[in-house]
Structure formats: C-alpha cells, structure tokens
Amino acid sequence: MSERPLSPHLTVYKFKYTLATSILNRLAGLVLSVGLLLLVYWLAAIAAGVRAYAQARELLSLGAFKFVYALLLAAFVYHLAAGLRHLVWDTGRGLSRASAQRSAWVIAVASLVATLILIYCLLRPGAYAP
C-alpha cells in the first residue's frame, strides 16, 4: 500500500498561465472556506444581541480587515468565474488548447474587473452609513 504513485505531481509540469488558473482556483476556494468562518462569526454576533454585535463590529471594522474583505471578494469572483469555466468543460466544450488559453484570459480579465467593481460597491469609504 505504501509507495504507490500519488497524483498530483506538481513538479513535473512546465509552468504556463493555464496552470496558474487551476492552482489559483484551488487557492481561491480555500480562501473562501476561511471566509465562511468570518460570515458565521458575523451571523453569530447578530444573534448574540446588540452588545455582542457592537463588539464584533468594532473588531470587524479594523483597518486590517479591509484587506481581508478585498481578498475575499477577489477570491469569490475568481472562484465563480473559474467554476463556471469548469462547468462548461464538464459538458465537453472548450477543452482544446487554444480554447482553454482563451478562456483563461477571459476569466482573469472578467474577475479583475468584477473585483474592482465589488470593492467599490462594498469597501469604498462611506459605502455604509455609520
């Protein structure tokens, strides 16, 4: 049972941006899994009452969290775009090399634009009334 060959073999592939889109999708998924913790903390704080929520809000409004939220938005948008690309692949379409390279650019540009829009909507100063 030991010494069986185990995939994935990260070191044997030549690096290409299509490889980066795959690894980034995994990373984005992991980031979102951690983001789930933040969401649950926020929901639990709402349920815990007005004083607990005020405390949680103070913590969650710290400047460092702006960076975390921006990262979460980027991860969300990218994971969504790359996930839709995977669903298209599952139908057997878009699997040729040229097609996969084109869709890699499409999801990269689309998620960059969408991330900036979401950052503007949710994280700009004064996005929410105090």
Residues near other proteins, by CB under 8 A? 1, 4, 6-8, 26, 29-30, 32-33, 36-37, 39-40, 43-44, 46-47, 49-50, 53-54, 57, 76, 80, 83-84, 86-87, 90, 118, 121-122, 128-130
Q: Work out how close the CB of 83 gets to other proteins at its nearest, in angstroms, rounded to a whole number.
A: 5
The helix (H) or strand (E) run that includes residue 98 is helix 97-123
**Distance, CA of 51 to CA of 94 (rounded, Å):** 53
Q: Where are the beta strands (DSSP E) in 3-92?
A: none
Q: Work out how close the CB of 129 gets to other proteins at its nearest, in angstroms, rounded to a whole number.
A: 4
**Distance, CA of 114 to CA of 19 (rounded, Å):** 22
Name the residue nearer to other proteins (CB basis): 88 or 108: 88
